[in-house]
Amino acid sequence: MEESYTEPVEPKTDRLTLRMDVDIQKKDDDVGLNAYKDFQGRTSKNNVSQPTEPPTTRTRSRRIIYETSESEAEAEVEGVTAVTWLESVEYKLYQAEAALHVKQKTLKYKEDIIQLYNKYDRQVEKNEQVTKQLRINGDNVRRQQVLEIFVSELQKQCNIVVQKLETALMSYSFIREKLAQNVIVNGKSVVQPLATENLSGIYALLH
């Protein structure tokens, strides 16, 4: 039990949170960049001038919003108003995919946290069981020690009584001969109780 026991440690979620944030940010960047490239490819077919580099970005609630200028929204080519990045289908798809990824990652993060705390709860329960068992074992050991001391002292006193009986009965041969007989005590045979210093057998023969 002691070899497999591990002291319970409450989970630390900071690292999981950091990993989730980084993963969401990277995914957001990748999805946004790919969507913007698709937007550039589509609008370039209509001869609409678009910057070759993605617009500057800013982080907002784990989402990347691509900024655009007012002049871009007003750009016209051959009488046709240009569709801006923020108004494009690609941008809306990017937003939807990024939001879905955030939702999935957040759910996975919560599931991981639940698993960690389930493991922690099992360790706490096991710790309580081990502590209880150790307390019971300790009580049993102390009780056993008390019994051993009592039995040892009782045996010592019995030996003293037997020795005094031997000394007192040295001049009474007929009693000594009787105590040399075998006797049944509590269903068990006791051979020569005086010689074996069996106080129960001596008492049974003298009674």
Ordered per-residue pLDDT tens for the chain, 207 residues: 444 566 788 888 888 899 999 999 999 999 999 999 999 998 887 654 455 445 544 444 444 444 444 444 444 444 445 679 999 999 999 999 999 999 999 999 999 999 999 999 999 999 999 899 999 999 999 999 999 999 898 888 878 887 877 777 777 777 777 777 888 888 888 887 777 777 788 778 777
Structure tokens at 89: 């289908």
Q: How far is residue 110's CA from residue 83's CA, in Å, rounded to a whole number?
A: 39
pLDDT for res 201: 81
Q: Which backbone phi and psi does 137 adopt, to 5 degrees?
A: -60, -40
Q: Where are the domains of the chain?
A: 14-136, 169-206
End-to-end CA distance of the chain: 53
* Total H helices, total E strands in the chain: 5, 6
H/E run at residue 65 = strand 63-66
Q: How far is residue 9's CA from residue 192's CA, in Å, rounded to a whole number?
A: 65
DSSP result, 167-193: HHTTT-HHHHHHHTS-EEETTEEES-T
User: Which pTM value belongs to this model?
Assistant: 0.52
